[in-house]
Structure 1
Amino acid sequence: MPTASGNSLADLFSHRAFARFWLARLNGTTATQMLMVALAWNMYDLTSSAWDLGLVGLFQFVPALLLTLPAGHVADHMHRGRIFACCLFAQALAAVVLLAALYGHFTSRELILGISVLLGMARAFQMPAQQALTPQLVPPALLQRAVTISASAMQAAIIGGPALGGVLYTLGPATVYAVSAMLLIVGGVLGLTVRYDHTPPQLATSWDSVLAGVRFVWHRKVVLGATTLDLFAVLLGGATALLPIFARDLLQTGPIGLGLLRAAPAVGALAMSLALVRWPLERQVGHKLLLAVAVFGLATVVFGLSRSFTVSLLALVVTGAADAVSVVMRSTLVQLETPNEMRGRVSAVNSIFIGASNQLGEFESGAVAALWGPVVSVVSGGIGTMVVAAAWLKLFPTLAQRDELHPKA
């Protein structure tokens, strides 16, 4: 395990393996965001079908859901840096195939859906490996900053990637696919250079071993509370799926306004992540985590009730900032509470919760909106999120009463 002499960013990036991994993730996330923009537009250009657009997401989600637990087992047995690199290379291959299809005039609906399956499979293995890798590259005293600066980079990529992809798409989808492939290859090469002490566990592969992460999360109440907190908060409090309705019908704005609303949470998350890099949370972390979730719910309620575009925009910025606090603290806490030999499988369980909450959250928002309208859907979801934060005070006292993320070095 690396050692540290201090807590500054210079100390953090002095760990070269972490610096390379950080750059690899930045390249990979930017490229993935660009690729998703081009893939969706390419499908819509081909079919003009909203149903087919939905299938692109579904064909990525299902293989990711089915493979995540086995992928966590793989991440605990094989070199995580190489798994991460191979996943980026697989996504680069997908971009190259799409590029070849454009030039060879064999792009089709079926090809795009097949590529979507490949992307979902790659991400199933990528997420547990990259989540479990960071604690191997920095000492515990620097883990919170490492998670925070990684989150900052990812938010910047989530903001900038789609925008860059949209600009490049004006030159044609081939340009987006080519640039995405190059960024993914660079990220994969950087991933291959990540070095850490890797000792494969001497355990036979079995379903009992694959499911060990589920058992660990269930029995470790701090980890269970942290992971399920995100599941229920996002499941209830997500308003993203209904933004087009709010933008057009309630806030009376157009596509540009919708774009600003979609970007607002990421802007808030990026700003908060940068603040946490400078001023990390050190005491009463359990109460601050639950407070951040409650603020997320309250800001969601404000957004649901607002008829002012400015107020709605600011409310979404606050949701992103509060979510950033929650993400950093939960991710750091889960990694610190999990033994290294279990981190891949526990990260896989966490990935399932995140994926399920995002997908089911969109379904829940749409279903409630269809029955009682978008305002009721968003406001009730925000209230539900605040109720969850309050309930977790009683249901998971070890999480709520947690003072420090880790003992001081």
Structure 2
Amino acid sequence: MDTTSNRADAYASLRYPEFNYYLVIRFAIVFALAMQFAIIEWKVNELARDPFALGLIGLAEVIPAVLLAPFAGHIVDKREKRGLLLKCIIAYLIISTGLFLLTWDKAVQGIPTHRVLMMIYALVFLGGVVRAFTSPSTFTLLSLLVPKQLYANASTWSSSAWQIGGVLGPALGGFLIYLFGVHWSMLLVVFILLAPLYSLLKIQPKPIYYKNQGEGFIEGLTKGMKFVWNTKVVLNAMALDMFAVLFGGAIAMLPVFATDVLHVGSLEYGILRSAPAVGSLITMFILAHKPLNKKPGIKLLAAVFGFGITIIVFGLSTTFLLSLAALLFSGVFDGVSVVIRQTILQLKTPDDMRGRVASVSSMFVGSSNELGAFESGFMARALGLVPSVVFGGCVTLGVVITTYVISPAMRKLDLKA
């Protein structure tokens, strides 16, 4: 297959049937979990009426995801990826069924509210355990489905599937809460998680590229961390995105903004919750046809800077439409960041270390969403809701400026395969 034509073909990776099944899996998992997270946020806000309680949802998931990431990446590199991902989906099904029962009034009748909250946090914690394995498994599987020259194109479509799930999940979650309530909305999550199983079975088992070469357990465990530390462009991209999401995590406070600042209901909450993903999705489709070949490092820095600006605007807004526009553009800028970062990881990571490097990425980037939710809840209690979001946006701008000054590798970034 001609490399040059592949690069010019926006749909090149879609011509590989197994990659299309992969996109279905990617979409369905994210769609179900995004819907679930939005529903649980709304339920916890109903039970606790405390921004800090919303922040604890993120903390409950991020603790196991971070602590287990090095072990998970090591295991993923040594095992067959499809089988691991199958186990992860089954585990998510069990956890979602538990959350469905906890939102059923008859099932929790007579149980004190604080205990129901603790059980919700416990299941979210278990979800973090599963995510520690899901993230490196899906990242590694992508590289086994298409040729290396299509990694950038495949990363764009993979991110698009992720963003479509992120768009529809929260929006449908808010709409279903409005129509049927939290309990029946959670039941749909359980059924959606059945969908990836068929697609996963259509993908053949893949080879394992793990190279032992006499290395000890600790050496094998830390190899991914050493690679990221020594590959500065990878390290800087991860750190930039981590701090931006960590301090720009206004999305976690949306239930409180919706009810207390904007004075809207669950339907509008669902629209607001999906706005960043809509913006990202628009970016993904544009980038599939117009790849970021020129000065991608500068574009990455500019995108994160724009993200920080939109977070400040959202924090200061008191009208629904302005808040919606701010969140939409936050997704537009974030979409650029996601595509560039995923392409960097796919192109720069050796095949035998993909699981471990993806786990390090999940520690830096994936977990920053939940840490950002906790940080937002903590700062909202300490500074107040609006000042905490504005503060986070300002910190994001500071991180971008600092990265520009200290990272020549980022300014000179080249994404050629």
Query: If the length of structure 2 is used for normalisation, what is the TM-score?
Result: 0.84
What SS class does the counterpart of residue 137 from structure 1 fall into? coil
Distance 1:379 1:73 in 2: 39
Compare 159-168 and 182-191 and name the one that shifted more.
Answer: 159-168
Equivalent residue for 1:180?
A: 189
Contact 1:302 1:312 in 2 (8 A): yes
Equivalent residue for 1:234?
A: 245
Distance change in 2, residues 1:299/1:106 (3 Å): closer
**Identity over aligned residues, as a percent?**
37
Alignment of 1:289-304 (within 5 A): 289-304=300-315
Equivalent residue for 1:396?
A: 407
Distance 1:82 1:160 in 2: 27
Does the alignment pair 1:362 with 2:370?
A: no
Structure 1: gaps (5+ residues): none
Equivalent residue for 1:309?
A: 320
Alignment of 1:67-216 (within 5 A): 67-96=68-97, 109=116, 112-165=120-173, 176=185, 179-195=188-204, 196-202=206-212, 206-216=217-227
Distance change in 2, residues 1:3/1:230 (3 Å): same
Distance 2:3 2:198 in 1: 26
Structure 1 residue 97 displacement after superposition: 5.6
Distance 1:228 1:178 in 2: 37
Distance 1:366 1:173 in 2: 22
Equivalent residue for 2:348?
A: 337
Q: 1:263 aligns with which of 267, 270, 274?
A: 274
Contact 1:4 1:139 in 2 (8 A): no
Contact 1:265 1:320 in 2 (8 A): yes
Distance 1:210 1:241 in 2: 32
Query: If the length of structure 1 is used for normalisation, what is the TM-score?
Result: 0.86
Contact 1:3 1:138 in 2 (8 A): no
Distance 2:174 2:270 in 1: 12
Count of residues in Structure 1 that have an aligned counterpart in Structure 2: 405
Compare 50-59 and 392-401 and name the one that shifted more.
Answer: 50-59
Distance change in 2, residues 1:39/1:201 (3 Å): same
Distance 2:252 2:63 in 1: 19
Distance change in 2, residues 1:164/1:299 (3 Å): closer
Compare 233-242 and 253-262 and name the one that shifted more.
Answer: 253-262
CA RMSD of aligned residues (A): 3.3
Higher relative contact order (CA 8 A, sep 6+): 2
Distance change in 2, residues 1:188/1:225 (3 Å): same
Structure 1 residue 296 displacement after superposition: 1.0
Distance 1:35 1:243 in 2: 15
Distance change in 2, residues 1:118/1:385 (3 Å): closer
Equivalent residue for 1:406?
A: 416
Contact 1:2 1:139 in 2 (8 A): no
Contact 2:174 2:271 in 1 (8 A): no
Equivalent residue for 2:29?
A: 28
Amino acid at match of 1:393: Y
Compare 245-254 and 272-281 and name the one that shifted more.
Answer: 245-254
Distance change in 2, residues 1:20/1:98 (3 Å): same
Contact 1:3 1:139 in 2 (8 A): no
Distance 1:398 1:90 in 2: 40
Contact 1:392 1:400 in 2 (8 A): no
Structure 1 residue 63 displacement after superposition: 2.2
Distance 1:381 1:394 in 2: 20
Contact 2:35 2:169 in 1 (8 A): yes
What SS class does the counterpart of residue 211 from structure 1 fall into? helix
Distance 2:119 2:372 in 1: 28
Structure 1 residue 37 displacement after superposition: 5.0
Distance 1:225 1:141 in 2: 23
Distance 2:306 2:53 in 1: 36
Contact 2:41 2:54 in 1 (8 A): yes
Structure 1 residue 111 displacement after superposition: 5.8
